[in-house]
């Protein structure tokens, strides 16, 4: 079976996860959140007691990382070993350290292989894979490649509306700091050749989903 791969990249809070999941649900595709894998590895590395500032120490946690992620957009979950970490990896404690592990080349190489294996194993007609380097490194040959953007102001506003109980200023600063750190490793702010930009600043959620589906239909 020839499987359709839709690659979606973008900065923090641009809507990659929620929009990609909705697109996958509408098209009957699988959904792969690669950020969840980096987050799960950060959670694991921290629990393993590694020195997060030291690349070799971070990489030493790779062999014991038993990761699994469901690709059904209606039943999303992430496990490390037997432990369900779906909620734990969204906590600010993990968000605050994930860039430190994501910058380690051995980690990126190992997770890229995991993503390709998961994509190859899906039984659905297609898969939407979202992250930071999907259009450029994980699936550069994907049939559809999208950069999902929104202004920093819109992204900060959406994220702080979502994270009630945290100050808007702290949430905004964390989002900007993470983008700054991540963009030293991967360029997800500009579209690579052949990648279509969808700017959701002036779109609501449903309009953004429709815009991504329109790009998919144009490319298939």
Ligand X SMILES: Nc1ccn([C@@H]2O[C@H](COP(=O)(O)O)[C@@H](O)[C@H]2O)c(=O)n1
Q: Which does 172 bind (CB under 5 to 8 A by kind): ligand ATP, ligand X, none?
A: none
Q: Distances in Å between the alpha carbon of 33 and those of 25, 141, 197? A: 14, 18, 19
Phi–psi pair at 55, nearest 5 degrees: -60, -40
Beta carbon nearer to ligand X, 134 or 209: 134
- By CB under 6 A, name the one of 22, 58, 158, 198 that touches ligand ATP: 158
Residue 167: closest CA among 178, 176, 156: 156
Instruction: By CB under 6 A, tell whether 136 contacts ligand ATP.
Output: no
Beta carbon nearer to ligand X, 70 or 186: 186
Chain centre distance of CA 44: 17
Instruction: By CB under 6 A, tell whether 160 contacts ligand ATP.
Output: no
Q: What is the DSSP letter of 140?
A: T
Asked if 58 contacts 52 with a C-beta cutoff of 8 angstroms, the reply is: yes
Instruction: Identify the helix (H) or strand (E) that includes residue 128.
Output: strand 126-131
Rounded distance between C-alpha atoms, residue 50 and residue 216, angstroms: 41
Instruction: By CB under 6 A, tell whether 204 contacts ligand ATP.
Output: yes
The site for ligand X (CB under 6 A) is made up of 12, 16, 34-35, 38-39, 98-99, 102, 131-134, 178, 182, 186
Instruction: By CB under 6 A, tell whether 126 contacts ligand ATP.
Output: no
Instruction: By CB under 6 A, tell whether 44 contacts ligand ATP.
Output: no
Beta carbon nearer to ligand X, 107 or 209: 107
Instruction: By CB under 6 A, tell whether 39 contacts ligand ATP.
Output: no
Q: Which does 205 bind (CB under 5 to 8 A by kind): ligand ATP, ligand X, none?
A: ligand ATP
Q: Which does 133 bind (CB under 5 to 8 A by kind): ligand X, ligand ATP, none?
A: ligand X
The tokens describing 168, both together, are 């808007």
Beta carbon nearer to ligand X, 39 or 158: 39
Instruction: By CB under 6 A, tell whether 73 contacts ligand ATP.
Output: no
Rounded distance between C-alpha atoms, residue 74 and residue 190, angstroms: 31
Beta carbon nearer to ligand ATP, 57 or 187: 187
Sign of CA dihedral 133, 140, 211, 23: negative
Number of H helices and E strands in the chain, helices first, is 9, 8
Cα angle for residues 27, 36, 152 (degrees, 5° grid): 85
Query: Where does this chain bind ligand ATP (CB under 6 A)?
Result: 10, 12-19, 35, 158-159, 162, 200, 203-205, 208
């Amino acid at each position: 079976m020839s499987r359709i791969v839709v690659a979606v990249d973008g900065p923090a809070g641009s809507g990659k996860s929620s929009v990609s999941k909705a697109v996958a649900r509408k098209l009957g595709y699988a959904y792969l959140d690669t950020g969840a894998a980096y987050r799960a590895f950060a959670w694991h590395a921290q629990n393993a007691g590694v020195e997060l500032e030291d690349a070799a120490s971070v990489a030493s946690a790779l062999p014991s990382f038993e990761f699994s992620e469901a690709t059904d957009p209606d039943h999303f979950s992430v496990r490390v070993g037997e432990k369900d970490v779906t909620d734990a990896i969204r906590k600010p404690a993990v968000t605050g350290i994930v860039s430190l592990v994501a910058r380690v080349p051995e980690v990126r190489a190992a997770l890229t292989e995991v993503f390709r294996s998961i994509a190859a194993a899906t039984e659905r007609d297609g898969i939407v894979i979202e992250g930071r380097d999907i259009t450029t490194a994980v699936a550069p040959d994907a049939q559809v490649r999208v950069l999902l953007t929104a202004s920093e102001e819109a992204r900060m506003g959406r994220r702080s509306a979502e994270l009630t109980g945290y100050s808007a200023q702290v949430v905004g600063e964390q989002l900007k700091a993470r983008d700054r750190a991540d963009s030293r490793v991967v360029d997800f702010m500009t579209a690579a050749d052949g990648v279509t930009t969808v700017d959701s600043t002036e779109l609501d959620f449903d309009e953004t989903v429709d815009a991504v589906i329109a790009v998919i239909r144009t490319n298939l």
